[in-house]
Amino acid sequence: MKYYSIAILLVLASFYIHSGSGCKKQTESRVSIQFPDKKESMQILVAPEKENLLQYISQRDIEIQTRKTFTDKTTAIEGFKSSFKQHLVTPSEKEMKKLNKVLDEVTNEIEAWKPGLLPNRIRLVLMDGTHYGQNVFYTLEDAIFIPRSSIDGLPAKDFKSVMIHECYHIISRYFSPENKDGMYAIFGYEKAKNPIRIPGNVKEVALTNPDGIRPEWYITCQTPDGEKKLLPYLVDKGGNNQFYFLHIDLRFYEIDENNSISKDKFYTINDLKDFNEITGGNTSYILHADEVLAENFVAIIEGLGKDDWLESFPDKGQEKLKELKVALEKL
């Protein structure tokens, strides 16, 4: 997930659609940019091949997005699917042309640097921004979900940066487990050997980032109570805010000796003394390991061909960027 505002870049991801049988455009980079119709766009949500958002999303998350209450999780899922379909938008020819141009640029730049890094297809699905917000982008499978208002509402340079960010989420989703874990490890995130046990009273208030669906990676940091293994996890702050991002509370739950977390044993980012040292400190967009990687990927792509591309980053961050760039080039 990537949320964009004029003053700040935060979190979320992207969507786009076209009614009918779908249209395709083969870019010079060999990547086919497609605008799926509503039926195909729904299949991305309900019948995924890689990651299933509906498996992880909580009833509370759905209620925040749809602004409705439900009696149980099953009913909530059906309500979410209905609302999702309702808020898909058919792009105009002008919008498709503009999006094709941006994605052509982005995919050409990535492919020129590292051929084969992108999948053969990227689908763009347009939403009206009701669920996550007007400036919120996210990905599912090989699709970027884009709020319609952003097409003309964001400066071209910023929109392109968001597309690079979202492309990384797609790239990451199709990594082998070994490659994905290796990229995460560069920034201090480790894959838990066994599923981390998350109690029901935490799951019921969980908010799921479509770009980082699975809570399987932890980071080891110094806290006021010493060094701890911590699970970054999003929960609802509560309240009746209409804006989804105002509900997000990023907590770092302590993982105990039984590979479990508990509701009241967590830290905030301000408690983690060495977090920036471990991750490189290149971004404050840290809702999930994949968000940290995506922001660093943007820096790499936008820095291609520039001798001074590393200068604006801290020393540790420069090391991380170099390491990630080399790791991606070796794939």
| Residue 29: predicted pLDDT | 60
Indicate if the pLDDT at residue 321 is higher than 70.
yes
Closest CA relative to residue 172, chosen from 293, 307, 4, 308: 293
- Work out the mean pLDDT of the chain and round it to a whole number: 92
Q: Which residues of 219-254 are buried (b: 16+ CB within 10 A; e: fewer)?
A: bebebeeeebbbbbbbbbeeeeeeebbebbebbbbb
Residue of higher predicted confidence among 3 and 267: 267
Quote the pTM value: 0.92
Cβ contacts of residue 92 below 8 Å, gap of 6+?
none
Mean pLDDT over 55-61 rounds to 97
Indicate if the pLDDT at residue 301 is higher than 60.
yes
- Domain map of the chain by residue range? 2-175
| Residue 242: predicted pLDDT | 86
Closest CA relative to residue 127, chosen from 40, 214, 14: 14
pLDDT digits (tens, 9 = 90+) for 103-147: 999 999 999 999 999 999 999 999 999 999 888 999 999 999 999
H or E element at residue 98: helix 93-113
pLDDT band of residue 233 (cuts 50, 70, 90) is very high
Indicate if the pLDDT at residue 18 is higher than 90.
no
CB distance 192 to 219 below 8 Å? no
pLDDT band of residue 5 (cuts 50, 70, 90) is very low
**Residue labelled with tokens 């019948």:** 47
Percent of the chain with pLDDT over 70: 92
